[in-house]
Amino acid sequence: MTASFHGPPVEAATPNAAISALRANGLRVSAARRLVLEALYAADGPVSADDIAKGLNGRLPPSDLSSVYRNLETLEHVGLVDHVHLGHGPGLYAVAGPQRGWAVCETCERHIALEPQALEKLSAAVRRLIGFDARFSHFPIVGRCGDCLAEPAT
């Protein structure tokens, strides 16, 4: 069984920086691997393995889905990539970075990236209350957003 949770993030600002990080980890740089990275950097938010395999709707060349999964796993293991479950759909992948927290509204289904300061304060609250060093990067905070709270209930 593969581990559910991964190691510390490795920040790389560009695909090329990520490729250097791959080499530094003794990993080979193949066309397929390069493409996964390009897709992740080109996407404007977390994307599914399937999105990547389909070349982000044709913006990039398509690739084999199982290779995409294998590469995502490798990249995640190295710490270059993170994955989130924002709901019941497929897991979503993104380049690892300082922003590592999500909230999703169960009413409007919008998903919101948490601001670093909010994230830090939330973590502090969690540590104080339950003695936990919390991440909100793997599963989001689920609830009702401000806009939906203001509206008449459904």
CA distances from 86 to 10, 50, 83, 92, 143 (A): 22, 16, 10, 8, 12
Q: How, if at all, do strands 81-84 and 92-95 pair? A: antiparallel
Q: Give the per-residue contact string, 97-136, with DNA (x = CB under 7 A; - = no).
A: ----------------------------------------
108 binds its own copies (CB under 8 A): no
Residue 135 in contact with its own copies, rule: CB under 8 A: yes
Q: How far is CA 11 from CA 21, 69, 128, 138, 154, in A?
A: 9, 20, 29, 17, 42
49 binding DNA? (CB under 7 A): yes
Task: Indicate left, alpha or beta for 56 from its phi (over 0: left) and psi (-120 to 50: alpha).
Answer: left
Chain center to CA of 139: 10
Give the residue with the Cβ less far from its own copies, 1 or 31.
Answer: 1
Q: What's the closest the beta carbon of residue 145 comes to DNA, in angstroms? A: 23
Fill in the per-residue mask, 67 to 96: x = in contact with DNA (CB under 7 A), - = not in contact.
x-xxx-xx--------------xxx-----
Q: Are 93 and 36 in contact (CB under 8 A)?
A: no
**Binding stretches for DNA (CB under 7 A):** 2, 23, 27-33, 48-50, 63-67, 69-71, 73-74, 89-91
**Binding stretches for its own copies (CB under 8 A):** 4-5, 85, 87-88, 103, 105-106, 109, 112, 114, 118, 121-122, 125-126, 129-146, 149
